[in-house]
Amino acid sequence: MVNTEQTMHACPACGLLCDDISADTIAKQQFSCGKAAKFYARSTSLNVQPQVNGQAVSLAQAVKAAAELLQQAQSPLIAGSSTDVHGARALVSLANQNGADMTHLNADSTLRNMKVLQHRGWQTTTLTEVRNRADVILMIGTDVVTHNARFFERVVWVDEAMFTEPSARQIIYLGGDKLKTQAGVSPDGRAPQMIACASEHLPEVVSALRALIMNKPVAGENIAGVPVSTLAALAETLKAAKYATLVWVSKDLHFEHAELTIENITETVVALNQKSRAMGLSLGGSDGDTSVNYAHTWLNGVIIDAPHWQDHDAVVWVNSFSPEAMPPAEVSPVIVLGAADSKFTTPPAVFIPVATPGLDTGGQQFRVDGSVTLPLTAAKPSDVPTLSKVVALIEQAIANEGKQA
């Protein structure tokens, strides 16, 4: 089949992967999202040379230096891992060759969710279901838009939905800090419901909500300042909904043992689904975190690790979608296979510029809801080598070295 329509790009700047970005939008810089604007404003075809210890070298010299460092290392770590599925495959392969552990920039927030999944599982939904079904959307400890700026534009306040009236949706914010709630105002000016409580009190409040949904008694009149009657009314609203959607963003739940609060959210959904319909929706996501964790899982059978920086004597750092990101300062040596516009305060041992998927080159990326994968297309094609290509060169150099030894 041939695609005859005008090519639209999918934007990998956050987990939402909005795929309605036209060349015109990019040329005119007309974005309704700051992250997209920043992403497409990047200049990566800068003719940046590979570097060894801050000195420009040829690609072959940089590959040789990277291979030598990896061979010398007893326990290398592959980190950052800000890339797409193809990059993830390459990194898993490099990890296998060198006995390296593998982690990701967002390992903390990813693993917070994974703990819940591996303990109890969950019941979740995806963006198109929410767009067409959700009549009540409860956001817990998050405004979503800080992470996914166009969530309300693309999923909530849409023109049409198959099974509900979009403009009549009930939006409720439960807890959180410094929320931007303007996006929750309906097109006809209806304000969302706010149930205020600081993030640090969400554990008690969410667990009370779950208890109320399960028809268990909740003692007292207030939970961390939230009237129990308010929570009881919320519970009734959720039970009466045709398709209640409970949204959380793992990155926003960064207090200690936040996984227990996430589990209370997901178990609230499980309880609701005994009689009515509800689903969880975990949003946020960036830097290909879903892609890397998923590809790592099917290739290795297990999810990614948390970084244990002190256990490693060399780090391969990939920062395609976050050129400013670097590992903790005390880690060395660092081999950066990164964006051409990477920012360094101190030069890494090796720096090899690689193509950023969705900007310099194509690729494939998972959306934050996990079931949808989209092709990434080169918005500003360049001849910077892909991560897969550079990794293959390094692997080859190591293999050749191994044969000579």
Among 36, 66, 95, 350, binds another protein (CB under 8 A): 95
Residue from 186, 375, 378, 401 that binds another protein (CB under 8 A)? 375
In the list 57, 62, 73, 155, the residue contacting another protein (rule: CB under 8 A) is 155
By CB under 8 A, the residues from 168 to 227 that bind another protein are: none
CB atoms under 10 Å from CB of 347, counted, come to 14
The partner residues of 364 in beta bridges, in order of sequence, read 375
Stretch that binds another protein, among 91-99, 185-193, 204-212, 322-330 (CB under 8 A): 91-99
User: Which of 110, 261 has the CB closer to another protein?
Assistant: 110
- Inter-residue contact 365 to 357 (CB < 8 Å): yes
- State which H helix or E strand residue 30 sits in: none
Distance CA 289, CA 364 (A): 13
Answer yes or no whether residue 400 interacts with another protein by CB under 8 A: no
Q: Residue 357: beta bridge partners?
A: 361
Both tokens assigned to 188: 């006809």
Q: Which residues contact 109 (CB under 8 A, 6 or more apart)?
A: 250, 251, 254, 284, 289
| Nearest one of 335, 336, 341, 337 to 359, comparing CA atoms | 341
Q: How far is the CB of 377 from another protein (least distance, A)?
A: 9
Strands 51-52, 350-353: pairing kind: antiparallel
CB of 220 to another protein, least distance (A): 31
Nearest to 86 by CA among 379, 398, 383, 375: 375
The answer to whether 355 and 376 have CB atoms below 8 angstroms apart is no
Sign of the Cα pseudo-torsion (86, 91, 92, 93, in order): positive
Please, are residues 283 and 151 in contact by the beta-carbon 8 Å criterion?
yes
7-46 positions binding another protein, by CB under 8 A: 7-8, 10, 17, 19-20
Residue 312 touches another protein, criterion: CB under 8 A: no
* Piece of 88-96, 140-148, 195-203, 207-215 that binds another protein (CB under 8 A): 88-96
Q: Which part of the chain contacts another protein (CB under 8 A), choosing from 30-38, 201-209, 334-342, 366-374?
A: 366-374
**x/- site string to another protein, residues 290 to 309, per CB under 8 A?**
----xx-xxxxxxx------
Residue whose CB is less far from another protein, 93 or 170 = 93
User: Distances in Å between the alpha carbon of 348 and those of 60, 153, 338, 360?
Assistant: 17, 41, 11, 23
149 binds another protein (CB under 8 A): no
| Choice between 162 and 329, CB closer to another protein | 162
388 binds another protein (CB under 8 A): yes
- 238 makes contact with another protein (CB under 8 A): no
Specify the amino acid at residue 346.
T
* Extended strands (E) in 142-238: 170-174, 193-195, 222-223, 226-227
Cα torsion angle, 153, 154, 159, 161, sign: negative
Query: Quick one: which segment of 42-50, 66-74, 130-138, 200-208 binds another protein (CB under 8 A)?
Result: 130-138
Nearest to another protein of 229, 400 (CB atom): 400
For position 89 contacting another protein by CB under 8 A, the verdict is: yes
Closest approach, Cβ 235 to another protein, in A, equals 17
Positions in the binding site for another protein (CB under 8 A): 1, 3, 5, 7-8, 10, 17, 19-20, 85-86, 89, 92-93, 95-96, 99, 114, 117-129, 131-133, 154-155, 159-163, 242-243, 273, 276-277, 279, 294-295, 297-303, 364, 366, 370-375, 388
